[in-house]
């Protein structure tokens, strides 16, 4: 291993490769681990790093991704590959310009994005979406850690608005190539039909690729919370708010607002609450802020589902609350830290 | 009386690590040479009372200063003074006394009295403790009327004895209490109580040491002692954390426990008090644990103070790998690069970690049988495998992703990443004060857990220094809210004149 590393380090001496130094050093970090040591106290640090953090998020997405591949076969695989390649190119280009290591966060974005697309999305649309998401959702703000909006959702929003025909009307059912159907939420909106819960749980209803197999989404989300990669507060308050408001709403306006359990198990609510609202960068970091964030996202979701032209509101609600994140944080912090008496 | 269910929020429990010292215990031979710093611990430097060439006996006072806050320093071996010189020691230029030893192990008992300590008047007993040097133990000393501490014994309201073992490596409680240890400990408490009659005594013990808690409770008899079984969660042992946990009083951050009328001592300090009062033995030797994976054997050693580190660890380190030596805990201790430096009164462990510059292939994807993590993503989080530590950072530095780990573990309720973002951009002003930067107790947990390998503790330290340089601190508002004792007049007038 040591030998290999020495050989690898010779790459740094090749002048023509210096333009791609960031790629070389990123790969070195992945393959050989770091040779950095702690500078002082604490003399030893936690073994967790961002690579593992993101790997855990990817592992949590595996049930959803596997279900997508199982339901939609080759096209799902193609979408995932296209998303990784085209988004990856955008990411690497920015890393080269910035002369910094490639950030691992993209690996999660690149997998989440295809999972929230309708199964029949053409590859070129997916490619355009992820590139837009990476550039306008993340890199223009300064890269991972500085972005305001969830990059995968920015990409999804872009394709939804740019290609409405493709994105909202053609929902393909699992295992069959040609038949298209409305999503359960669409069915409720137009025909007031409630899809059976078992169908919703197992994923045999129409919907985005990764969101329909809800048992897998729940397992993955719980795994994330259990490993402390995501915080339970946001899914808890998000789903709680949806259940509460739809229970109240269904009581008064049963025509417009679907019953709580149906709201919970349809559309992208579980997927969004477990994997996208919990994105640490774009959600509040204060603990109370997380509860506020989830609560309002839940309310917005129910309102959009009931009263807007779209049948699904998870994406809009999370992006909207992403925008409110800095405000929520500074509000909570100003309450938490009262000024000291001698402060000038 | 056992008082249960006290805890604090935040913190992290380090458990199941390799390199924890076993109960094995050896007496180190008398070294050929000892180096005695004339400033050990919190007090001021004392004046040497011996000259080059003088012959000294173990237990003889070689440095004393009755005018400033300090305790006497003793020769710890029989022999001759070889040199007195200034060296840099723990960041300050101070005088050291080099003594060449003749190898004999006996020592000169302090004090002429033959009667037991119970018959001594209070003043005499305080003198005995002061002259034995034990009053310098603890973060701010044991108060006597001899200026060993910033307050007087009558002002002490609480004595807290800390055996929580919250650090990653700790002295073994069962070793300290072995044999007559527990009875001596209790008698040590009696001594402390008789010089500080107003104080109530609290003992905090690792709650998993059930046997020991039981024994302490039994041998406490009718003494009024409160025993607190506490979770060994780091940094429970810090004064700033243990006092609110036990006494349920807010801590005046920026001041010391002493200013609240509380003194916090460890168990070994109480045993030293016993030795000083009953056996008339001055503070010349200590039990020191060799901890960490760098030692071939993790044991406890009783060594004379002033023993050079290389003599202490000789033949006990792994020869095959580069090591880093740390005084006390690897979480907050300092690196020692010069092994000719001595051990002093403040040291209870010497840790050695493997200096790992190699890295590990695909380390992020491994199951992690012996890896510790705050996140529960390694196998070692679920099974009782022994975990190992080294100095590698286990990952490259990345941008902060607001994962909140630092906020979750912070025992003082700060948001370390928030402070980091301000200080990193060099925004140093009152806003840091509002975010309670001065409540940071330097436990370094935020830097330990950070998956982005940022060192927030270091940034916070820098920010605080810059703020103090600008004349901003929170002492004024703290002084207004608390009734504090023994606060330096300079501090008070300094704040008033501002």
Average pLDDT over residues B346-368: 87
Summarize pLDDT for B49-76 with one digit per residue, the tens: 898 888 898 888 899 888 888 889 999 9
- In the predicted model, is pLDDT for residue B121 greater than 90? no
B452 vs A: CB within 8 A? yes
Exposed, middle or buried, A247 (CB in 10 Å: 0-12/13-18/19+)? Answer: middle
Q: Which two tokens stand for residue A310?
A: 């779209």
**Which own/partner contact pairs does B431-437 have at CB distance under 8 Å and 24+ positions apart?**
B432/B463, B432/B467, B433/A340, B433/A343, B433/B467, B433/B472, B433/B473, B433/B474, B434/A337, B434/A339, B434/A340, B434/A343, B435/A333, B435/A337, B436/A337, B436/B253, B436/B412, B436/B474, B437/B463, B437/B464, B437/B467
CB contact under 8 A, B356 and A37: yes
The full length of chain A comes to: 344
Q: Identify the pLDDT of residue B495.
A: 63
Q: For chain B, give the percent of residues with pLDDT over 90.
A: 45
CB interface of B with A, residues 301-340, below 8 Å: 324, 326, 330-335
Report how far residue A45's alpha carbon sits from residue A37's, in angstroms, rounded to the nearest whole number: 10
B157 vs A: CB within 8 A? no
Report how far residue A26's alpha carbon sits from residue B88's, in angstroms, rounded to the nearest whole number: 42
| Chain B contact set for A341 (CB, 8 A) | 476-477, 480-481
B120: confidence class by pLDDT, cuts 50, 70, 90: confident
- In the predicted model, is pLDDT for residue A183 greater than 90? no
Report how far residue A247's alpha carbon sits from residue A298's, in angstroms, rounded to the nearest whole number: 12
B443: confidence class by pLDDT, cuts 50, 70, 90: very high
Pairing of strands B158-163, B92-101: unpaired
- In the predicted model, is pLDDT for residue A177 greater than 70? no
Summarize pLDDT for A294-309 with one digit per residue, the tens: 999 999 999 999 988 8
A176: confidence class by pLDDT, cuts 50, 70, 90: low
**C-alpha A195: how far from chain center:** 26
The residues facing B325 across adjacent strands are B336, B352
Contact status, residue B48 vs residue B129, Cβ threshold 8 Å: no
User: Is residue B53 left, alpha or beta, with left meaning phi > 0 and alpha meaning psi from -120 to 50?
Assistant: left
Q: Identify the pLDDT of residue A344.
A: 46
Report how far residue A140's alpha carbon sits from residue B131's, in angstroms, rounded to the nearest whole number: 68
Q: Which two tokens stand for residue B336?
A: 């020692």
B450 vs A: CB within 8 A? yes
Nearest to A29 among B358, B396, B405 (CB): B396
Summarize pLDDT for A62-82 with one digit per residue, the tens: 999 999 999 888 889 999 999
A45 vs B: CB within 8 A? yes
Contact status, residue A184 vs residue A198, Cβ threshold 8 Å: no
User: Among candidates B316, B20, B286, B14, which has minimal Cα distance to B169?
Assistant: B20
B114: confidence class by pLDDT, cuts 50, 70, 90: low
- In the predicted model, is pLDDT for residue B271 greater than 70? yes
CB contact under 8 A, A48 and B361: no
Distance from the Cα of A184 to chain B's closest Cα (Å) equals: 35
CB interface of A with B, residues 206-245, below 8 Å: 226-229, 231
Summarize pLDDT for B285-297 with one digit per residue, the tens: 999 999 999 999 8
CA-to-CA separations, A8 to A30, B256, B446, in angstroms, rounded: 13, 53, 34
How many Cα atoms within 13 Å fall on the side-chain side of residue B237?
25
CA-to-CA separations, B279 to A291, B103, B136, in angstroms, rounded: 61, 22, 18
Exposed, middle or buried, A68 (CB in 10 Å: 0-12/13-18/19+)? Answer: buried
Summarize pLDDT for A243-299 with one digit per residue, the tens: 999 999 999 988 888 889 999 998 889 999 999 999 999 999 999 999 999 999 999
User: Is residue B71 left, alpha or beta, with left meaning phi > 0 and alpha meaning psi from -120 to 50?
Assistant: beta
Q: Which two tokens stand for residue A159?
A: 């394709």
Summarize pLDDT for A233-252 with one digit per residue, the tens: 999 999 999 999 999 999 99
A40: confidence class by pLDDT, cuts 50, 70, 90: confident
Q: Identify the pLDDT of residue B36.
A: 92
């Amino acid at each position: 291993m040591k030998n290999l590393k020495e050989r690898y380090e010779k790459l740094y001496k090749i002048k023509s490769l210096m333009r791609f130094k960031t790629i070389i050093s990123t790969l070195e970090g992945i393959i050989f681990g770091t040779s950095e040591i702690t500078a002082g106290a604490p003399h030893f640090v936690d073994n967790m790093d961002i690579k593992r953090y993101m790997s855990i998020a990817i592992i949590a997405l595996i049930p959803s991704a596997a279900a997508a591949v199982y339901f939609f076969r080759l096209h799902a695989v193609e979408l995932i590959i296209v998303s990784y390649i085209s988004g990856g190119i955008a990411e690497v280009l920015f890393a080269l310009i910035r002369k910094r290591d490639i950030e691992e966060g993209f690996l999660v974005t690149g997998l989440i994005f295809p999972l929230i697309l309708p199964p029949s999305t053409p590859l070129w649309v997916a490619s355009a979406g992820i590139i837009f998401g990476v550039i306008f959702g993340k890199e223009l703000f300064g890269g991972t850690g500085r972005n305001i909006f969830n990059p995968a959702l920015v990409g999804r929003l872009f394709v939804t608005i740019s290609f409405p025909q493709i994105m909202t009307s053609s929902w393909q059912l699992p295992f069959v190539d040609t038949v298209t159907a409305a999503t359960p939420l669409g069915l409720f909106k137009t025909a007031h039909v409630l899809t059976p819960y078992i169908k919703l749980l197992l994923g045999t209803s129409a919907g985005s690729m990764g969101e329909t197999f809800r048992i897998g989404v729940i397992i993955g989300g719980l795994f994330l919370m259990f490993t402390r990669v995501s915080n339970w507060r946001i899914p808890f308050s998000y789903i709680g708010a949806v259940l509460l408001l739809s229970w109240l709403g269904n009581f008064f306006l049963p025509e417009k607002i679907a019953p709580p359990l149906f709201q919970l198990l349809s559309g992208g609510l579980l997927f969004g609450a477990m994997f996208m609202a919990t994105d640490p960068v774009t959600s509040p970091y204060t603990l109370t802020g997380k509860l506020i964030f989830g609560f309002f996202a839940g309310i917005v979701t129910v309102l959009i589902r009931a009263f807007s032209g779209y049948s699904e509101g998870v994406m809009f609600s999370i992006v909207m609350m992403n925008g409110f994140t800095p405000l929520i944080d500074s509000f909570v912090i100003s309450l938490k830290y009262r000024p000291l008496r001698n402060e000038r | 009386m056992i008082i249960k269910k006290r805890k604090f929020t935040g913190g992290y429990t380090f458990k199941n690590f390799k390199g924890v010292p076993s109960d094995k215990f050896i007496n180190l031979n008398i070294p050929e040479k000892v180096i005695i710093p004339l400033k050990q611990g919190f007090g001021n430097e004392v004046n040497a009372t011996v000259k080059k060439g003088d012959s000294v006996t173990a237990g003889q006072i070689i440095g004393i200063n009755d005018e400033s806050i300090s305790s006497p320093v003793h020769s710890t071996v029989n022999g001759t003074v070889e040199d007195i010189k200034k060296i840099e020691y723990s960041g300050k230029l101070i005088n050291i006394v080099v003594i060449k030893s003749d190898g004999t192990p006996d020592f000169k008992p302090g004090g002429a009295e033959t009667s037991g300590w119970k018959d001594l008047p209070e003043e005499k007993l305080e003198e005995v403790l002061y002259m034995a040097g034990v009053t310098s133990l603890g973060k701010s000393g044991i108060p006597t009327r001899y200026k060993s501490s910033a307050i007087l014994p009558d002002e002490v309201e609480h004595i807290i004895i800390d055996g929580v073992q919250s650090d990653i490596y700790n002295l073994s409680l069962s070793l300290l209490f072995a044999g007559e240890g527990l009875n001596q400990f209790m008698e040590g408490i009696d001594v402390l109580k008789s010089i500080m009659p107003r104080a109530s005594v609290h003992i905090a013990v690792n709650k998993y040491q059930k046997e020991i808690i039981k024994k302490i409770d039994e041998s406490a008899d009718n003494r009024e002692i409160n025993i607190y079984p506490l979770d060994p969660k780091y940094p429970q042992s810090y004064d700033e954390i243990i006092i609110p946990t036990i006494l349920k009083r807010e801590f005046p951050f920026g001041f010391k426990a002493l200013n609240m009328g509380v003194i916090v001592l460890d168990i070994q300090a109480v045993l030293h008090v016993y030795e000083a009062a009953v056996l008339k033995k001055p503070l010349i030797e200590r039990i020191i644990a060799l901890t960490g994976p760098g030692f071939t054997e993790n044991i406890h050693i009783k060594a004379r103070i002033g023993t050079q580190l290389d003599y202490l660890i000789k033949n006990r380190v792994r020869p095959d790998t580069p090591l880093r030596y740390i005084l006390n805990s690897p979480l907050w201790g300092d690196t020692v690069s010069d092994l000719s430096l001595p051990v002093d009164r403040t040291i209870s462990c010497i840790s050695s970690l493997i200096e790992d510059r190699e890295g590990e292939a695909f380390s992020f994807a491994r199951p992690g049988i012996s890896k510790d993590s705050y996140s529960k993503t390694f196998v070692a989080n679920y099974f009782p495998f022994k975990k190992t530590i080294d100095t590698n950072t286990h990952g490259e530095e990345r941008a902060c992703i607001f994962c909140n780990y630092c906020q979750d573990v912070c025992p003082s309720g700060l948001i370390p990443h928030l402070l980091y973002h301000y200080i990193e951009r060099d925004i140093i002003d009152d806003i840091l004060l509002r975010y309670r930067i001065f409540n940071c107790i330097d436990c370094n947990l935020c830097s330990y857990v950070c998956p982005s390998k940022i060192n927030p503790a270091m940034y916070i330290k820098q920010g605080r220094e810059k703020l103090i340089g600008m004349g901003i601190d929170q002492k004024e508002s703290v002084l207004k809210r608390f009734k504090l004792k023994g606060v330096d007049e300079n501090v008070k007038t300094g704040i008033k004149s501002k």
